[in-house]
Structure 1
Amino acid sequence: MKKAGIIMIIGSLLLLGLFKFPLWNIMLGAPQYPDPLGMNIHITGIKGVHEFDIQNIDGLNHYIGMKKIPKPEEMWEFDVFPKVILGMVTLGVVIGLLGIFKKLSFRWFLGWLILMSILGVLGMYDFNLWLTEYGTDLDPNAIMKMTHPDGSPMTYKPPLFGHQKMLNFDVDSYPHTGGYMLFAGMLLTLIAFFVGKREWKTQKI
């Protein structure tokens, strides 16, 4: 399964892009901000798209009672996620190499993909929980207390994916370069599974 093993290795190595490029991006645009404010979510921390974006977002959030954007040391995810990605890359490369030397079945490629998919879903679930807490756990002593027409407190949870209007801000949340590299790597491992299955059948003939 030489071809399948090589594809598997390439797909696994694409995950290393997460150490350089953001996984996700959230942008906030409003009339008073010709250049939208933005956050890039890396697996090691959250950074502003521009130099002072985090500072400006924290300043805006202060008025409505939202917490400051957490630093890497304040979230366990930024310590665990890099280790998980390195572990999956290593496992994927090992499986690919063993596949090249016909030491294991093509089914291992699918097993890696299933495990990575489960971890990805858990990661997105955790990310959504953080967004929910970030946008709903407000300081009761905030300078501005916005309410819905029915009198209930307004919350400011950014969308997990897509576009949302919050007050006079347009908020967009989408994958960034690292996220697309992750998806591409997982797609390649799926291709490796089917190529490996075909090569295995050919060897049996």
Structure 2
Amino acid sequence: MKKAGIIMIIGSLLLLGLFKFPLWNIMLGAPQYPEPLGMDIYINGIKGITEYDLQNIDGLNHYIGMKTIPKPEDMWEFSVFPKVILGMVILGVIIGLLGFLEKVSYKFFLGWFLLMSILGVLGMYDFNNWLIDYGSNLDPHAIIKVTNPDGTPMSYKPPLIGYQKLLNFDVDSWPHIGGYLMFVGMSLTLVAFWLGRKIALKKTTQ
């Protein structure tokens, strides 16, 4: 269990990368912008790829009635998410240490992974709801109004993940370094569970 415990600790600590690196990235490219506009989404706020990206995106969004990009104080998520991640890191390290000392079952490693997975799904669900509101709840007095072929208002919701064409903009939405670190960290906790289970089964057959 010692090796499994160490892997569990390493996997949990990788989540600390979310405090340094972006979780997600959204890029907008169009013919009038030789350099695409972009924003990095952190667990505690949103930043532009370059100094004026957020300002330029807000300027474009104003014409179609979209809200301005929220500041950290505008969304409760940006104050809650860091606490949740830090709590899961601490919990994972404690479980890993107890596993290293053979004080808990390897099943606790899986329990941490399942809890983190549930929190991750809830976070993505919340993020997608924000994107829907951001792209659909438009100012009716906007300068530009574009409708679908059936006459209904067009939604400018960016994709949760992947590529989408919005008017003349090519929009890409993908995980960033922090997101990949979280994925690797969670995968390592599964490795810890598998290794711990293998060791436990080996002991029972001896």
* TM-score, shorter chain, exceeding 0.5: yes
Residues paired across the two proteins, number: 205
What fraction of aligned residue pairs are identical, expressed as a percent? 74
Normalising by structure 2, we get a TM-score of 0.98
Most deviating of 145-154 and 115-124: 145-154
Instruction: Provide the rounded CA distance (Å) in 1 between the counterparts of 2:105 and 2:153.
Output: 56
Alignment of structure 1 residues 7-86 onto 2, 5 Å? 7-86=7-86
Q: What's the counterpart of residue 174 of structure 2?
A: 174
Structure 2 counterpart of 1:126, which letter? D
Instruction: Provide the rounded CA distance (Å) in 2 between the counterparts of 1:151 and 1:118.
Output: 39
Shift of 1:70: 0.3
Instruction: Provide the rounded CA distance (Å) in 2 between the counterparts of 1:148 and 1:192.
Output: 50
Q: What's the counterpart of residue 94 of structure 2?
A: 94
Q: Gaps (5+ residues) in structure 2?
A: none
Normalising by structure 1, we get a TM-score of 0.99
Q: What's the counterpart of residue 154 of structure 1?
A: 154
Alignment of structure 1 residues 72-151 onto 2, 5 Å? 72-151=72-151
Instruction: Provide the rounded CA distance (Å) in 1 between the counterparts of 2:102 and 2:151.
Output: 66
Q: Gaps (5+ residues) in structure 1?
A: none
Shift of 1:201: 2.2
Shift of 1:203: 3.0
Measured on the aligned residues, the alpha-carbon RMSD in Å equals: 0.6
Runs of 4+ in 1 over 6 A off after TM superposition: none
Question: 1:134-182 CA distances to partner (integer Å, 9 max, x unpaired)?
Answer: 0000000001111112221111000001000000000000000000000
Q: What's the counterpart of residue 165 of structure 2?
A: 165
